[in-house]
């Protein structure tokens, strides 16, 4: 899997591969299709995690239990290090409400809370395509 589209749970060592892994990748690609700019452009696995955390905020142990086993020098979650919104990241692109909502549901840290492929296809973003 290409580094830029790899989800944080895999970067942190989780070996279980579920469809949630693919949905993270789809979210990254969806963002790139909308903005023409990759969302997380890391040069190594650790740099990829840094890029994700800079944009999404540092996850807690409830969202990604693997984070507690790693001893990286990441800033702890705090009000001073809030996650950015997709509006902040759009770089001039204007996401509509459905685009933003679908992206946010695909890029949730906890894979068990990430939107499923079936639910994503039923998302209001796709209503105009039917």
Dump pLDDT digits (tens) for 31-40. Answer: 999 888 999 9
The pLDDT, as a whole number, for residue 95 is: 82
Which stretch, 46-50, 84-88, 111-115, has highest mean pLDDT? 111-115
Query: Is a pLDDT exceeding 90 seen at residue 68?
Result: no
Which stretch, 33-37, 46-50, 112-116, has highest mean pLDDT? 112-116
Burial call 103-130: b when 16+ CB within 10 Å, e when fewer: bebbbbbebeebbeeeebeeeebeeeee
The pLDDT, as a whole number, for residue 70 is: 63
For 59, the domain range is 3-129
Predicted TM-score of the model (pTM) = 0.85
User: What is the tally of structural domains in the chain?
Assistant: 1
Which stretch, 25-29, 44-48, 51-55, has highest mean pLDDT? 25-29
Residue 76: CATH number of its domain: 1.10.510.10
List % helix, strand, coil for the chain (3-state, nearest 5). 55, 0, 45
Average pLDDT over residues 73-93: 59
């Amino acid at each position: 899997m290409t580094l830029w589209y790899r989800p944080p749970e895999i970067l942190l060592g989780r070996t279980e591969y579920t469809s949630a892994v693919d949905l993270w990748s789809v979210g990254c690609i969806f963002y790139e299709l909308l903005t023409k700019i990759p969302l997380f452009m890391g040069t190594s696995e650790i740099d990829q995690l840094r890029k994700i955390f800079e944009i999404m905020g540092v996850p807690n142990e409830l969202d990604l239990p693997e984070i507690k086993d790693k001893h990286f020098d990441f800033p702890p979650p705090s009000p001073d290090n809030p996650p950015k919104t997709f509006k902040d990241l759009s770089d001039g692109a204007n996401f509509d409400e459905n685009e933003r909502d679908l992206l946010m549901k695909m890029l949730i840290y906890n894979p068990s809370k990430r939107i499923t492929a079936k639910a994503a296809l039923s998302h209001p973003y796709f209503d105009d395509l039917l």
